[in-house]
Amino acid sequence: MATLSLGTVFAAYAGAALVFFALDFVWLGFLAIGFYRAEIGQLLLERPNVLAAGAFYLFYVVGIVGFAVVPAFNAQSWLWALLAGLALGLLAYGTYDMTNLATLKDWSWKVSALDLVWGGGVTGAAALGGYWAARLTV
């Protein structure tokens, strides 16, 4: 089993964060914004709450590293990183979307379905990014 230095953990965080932020920026800023406006526009703020979004991103990437990247690194398995990231994304985004679907009047089931796919995919990709960044340090 490989040991993780502090530098390796920071590299894992940086790699996962870079992939997650970049993909989510393109997704939310360009690809899916029209869909979200059409489906739940009445629920959207005119401008996103940057502090809340920043807190989510910082802590969620910690979760990606802790639950997907570190175990994958210890197992020396990029597939572990991908599958654990996918599972984490489905769990996290599923919790958010199914709760909204269960509790909000105008929440769209289409948004929930698309978010589940997106959350699993983007988290799996970020976990891979973190895994490969960590591997570069050894």
Q: What is the pLDDT of residue 1?
A: 54
Local confidence band at 57 (pLDDT 50, 70, 90 cut-offs): very high
Average pLDDT over residues 35-48: 96
- Could you give the CA distance from residue 128 to residue 67 in angstroms, rounded to a whole number? 12
Q: Which residues of 82-92 are buried (b: 16+ CB within 10 A; e: fewer)?
A: bebbbbbbbbb
pLDDT greater than 90 at residue 17? yes
Q: What is the pLDDT of residue 132?
A: 98
Write down the mean pLDDT value for the chain: 97
Q: What is the pLDDT of residue 43?
A: 96
